Structure 1
């Protein structure tokens, strides 16, 4: 098989099943987190559930059922919540950036303030098995602890703690930006530039780029991994794996 091309627009894609583990507030679901540079879309393909979001505008619960597409921009804290058999296909902007650290958990402020503590709390010691599940549940629960504090403040009309979380997250990832820029240039930016090249060629009556058309097919490289939101089917496509192999969702 030929080396796979990036997906259209250099987006990332995965399939999710929401965690069914109850958290401290008796809600079953994933680890609340944000993305700093990537919009994300949930395409619901089965079951029911919700996505709970925190933005400066407030707290929102969006029901999820087959046929619904919900998407959110960088800075929106999101928590995928299980109802009954929820299945979601995730489309992620800027493929490769979430895997390289663009996603930040809503851990409590002391953890966010210490890069080593954050890395330890976010890490999974294994990909599968009881140890991996225990670590995934532990980091989910820690993220929920910080999330509930942010939500309580928003419900009281105070967006200050959420803004502080944004600042802490930005500071936490600052050293990674130099790695993100070439990923973006070689991915999403190059995809947009390629369309511009094609438009200019077609305007000049030159269709030669059509001769280079290829068909690419791939299958999940890993099924049921422990992601941020739930159990995740992952694809190895260009730009999809970060330096440490960690998956975002």
Structure 2
């Protein structure tokens, strides 16, 4: 039996250098956003910074430095902060789902009520170049504007705006769910089921799947993309679509 060979667990991966663009609060960093079904991990490879998060537990700023790992589940609004050339390898659960709409920016409420209005604000006009960078900055600033309102309310003890944002994000992605299921089945679920099949085969004395082993290598397909959190290196991986941070 032959299988595609995605990264372990069919995760997505990318390398990021955090944006050093100052925002309205004079903090440098990326575009705050949330994931609906994916857990995300930061493996810090260089520099120094932080990740700011908004959850039901409140506001938190977690320091990031080389060698540290931070991860957060669906529903955690997160904002990457650059303090000194922060560089991060992002590991994303369910490779392909963020590109299918799982990642939602913290735009002000009026932008979340209509999918077309949201898409117009979220989509860059090109993958690179001065126009794309200006649009990425505008997108970041719009997400920060909504994020700061959510953070202020949460710090004042009012979690209602955060909960309403989460509900709005869920409504926004609802039309896309039929597309998410096959991506998940063909990716993360299929990878987990293959492990079960292999355990069962070994239990029955069948080790034939070992003969299908391969060594595969991937190099970045784009070196300086404009992602949600920073400039990123992207990969096209076997059995997966491009990783997080479109």
What band does the TM-score fall into relative to the shorter chain? over 0.9
The count of aligned residue pairs is 243
How does 1:26-175 map onto structure 2 within 5 Å?
A: 26-175=26-175
Q: CA RMSD in A?
A: 1.3
Map of 2:245 onto structure 1 = 248
TM-score by length of 2: 0.97
Distance 2:236 2:230 in 1: 18
Superposed CA offset, 1:197-235 (max 9, x none): 001111112111101101111100001100000001000
Distance 1:200 1:114 in 2: 48
Q: CA offset at residue 4 of structure 1?
A: 7.1
Map of 2:196 onto structure 1 = 196
SS at match of 1:186: helix
TM-score by length of 1: 0.95
Map of 1:22 onto structure 2 = 22
Distance 1:152 1:45 in 2: 31
State whether residues 4 and 216 of structure 1, in contact with CA within 8 Å, keep that contact through their aligned partners in structure 2: no
How does 1:215-234 map onto structure 2 within 5 Å?
A: 215-234=215-234
State whether residues 4 and 218 of structure 1, in contact with CA within 8 Å, keep that contact through their aligned partners in structure 2: no
Distance 1:105 1:26 in 2: 19
Distance 1:71 1:196 in 2: 26
Q: CA offset at residue 241 of structure 1?
A: 3.5
Distance 1:130 1:103 in 2: 24
State whether residues 234 and 242 of structure 2, in contact with CA within 8 Å, keep that contact through their aligned partners in structure 1: no
Q: Which runs of 4+ in 1 moved over 6 A?
A: none
Distance 1:177 1:115 in 2: 14
Superposed CA offset, 1:122-145 (max 9, x none): 010011111000000000000000
How does 1:202-213 map onto structure 2 within 5 Å?
A: 202-213=202-213
* CA gap 1:199/1:4 in 2 versus in 1, 3 angstroms: closer
Q: CA offset at residue 157 of structure 1?
A: 0.7
Q: CA offset at residue 181 of structure 1?
A: 0.3
| Unaligned stretches of 5+ residues in structure 1 | none
Superposed CA offset, 1:56-89 (max 9, x none): 1100000000110000000000000001011100
State whether residues 18 and 87 of structure 1, in contact with CA within 8 Å, keep that contact through their aligned partners in structure 2: yes
Q: CA offset at residue 239 of structure 1?
A: 2.3
State whether residues 12 and 242 of structure 2, in contact with CA within 8 Å, keep that contact through their aligned partners in structure 1: no
Q: CA offset at residue 36 of structure 1?
A: 0.3
| Unaligned stretches of 5+ residues in structure 2 | none
